[in-house]
Structure 1
Amino acid sequence: MVQSIKTNLEVVEAMLFFWQSTSERQKVSEKYLTDIANMEGLTITYDDEFDAESVRKVLSAVTNRELLSSKNKKESKFWNNNLWMMEDLEYTNSMVQPIKKLNLEDLVDKIDSDKYEELEVIFAPLHKQEYVIKDNKLVINFFRVRPSFTDDNTYIGEIEIKEYIEEKLKELVSR
């Protein structure tokens, strides 16, 4: 039976520092980029085309203000998304604030599972995937978070964020 649902913003917090520093023309160390690439919120989403080296290479190109020399579409999409985050840091922060305040405890009673006691919702900047499910973890692509400017809601695609998370957690426990 699900006892708790935890939100993990570790990768987003690390990326906020990266985007802010890079936008201020400060160079971010290769060690920091490697540390980001090795964070669980990213590592559980890796595949044959996109891995820790992809993340390190892309973030290095971004912080060094270089064009990305890759024919890999996933790396190119990740590079574009990171540049987009730095174009308007106010918008980036408007994406972060609602997920920092996100309380998912009211979903515990709505998610029925004998398989897991704890579920984890991780926000991480991904490339093309909207979300990834692995074991008891739901990784949501941070780049897909869309704050509303007409009300207090936040969306993933056209679905309100808590409704989206509930739907994906139900998918997670049914696997």
Structure 2
Amino acid sequence: MRITLVQGDITTQNVDAVVNAANSSLLGGGGVDGAIHRRGGPAILAECRELRASRYGRGLPTGMAVATTAGELPARWVIHTVGPVFSAHEDRSELLASCYRESLRVADELGARTVAFPAISTGAYGWPMEDAARIAVAAVRAADTEVEEVRFLLFDAGAYAAFAARVD
């Protein structure tokens, strides 16, 4: 698997699947989640509502992943995953690693070969960027997957530098 880093906007990526750092409601929010829902249009929200009505009435559990259409995004699918909120008192790193593993598992089920990830849990959920990069890169490298390219989409230079230190 090839790991690439891009500083930019995940909603513009021409990949098979983009990963959404969703909240458990699956109904949109701020940050990456809001950007994906806004740019992708109403089809994504419609499928998320169907998922809530059928399989995830209480919301998508932290560390799990599920796919929907990508709507008007250049990708084919959106893989929604719920990252953990950072805690200085409880080690939740396994839940964060699970977001990456489960997203790749869903990508394999879809037949996706290129997947773009944001830095999950590093925004409103407060995960320190350097630690998030360590966990993300290790989880992706250890995954048993048919995905050929994992692209980390990093919003700013600091995030890019944190991931570059782990990829090189």
Q: Given the two structures, how large is their TM-score scaled by the length of structure 1?
A: 0.28
Larger fraction in helix: 1
- Bigger Cα Rg: 1
> What TM-score results when the alignment is normalised by the length of structure 2?
0.29
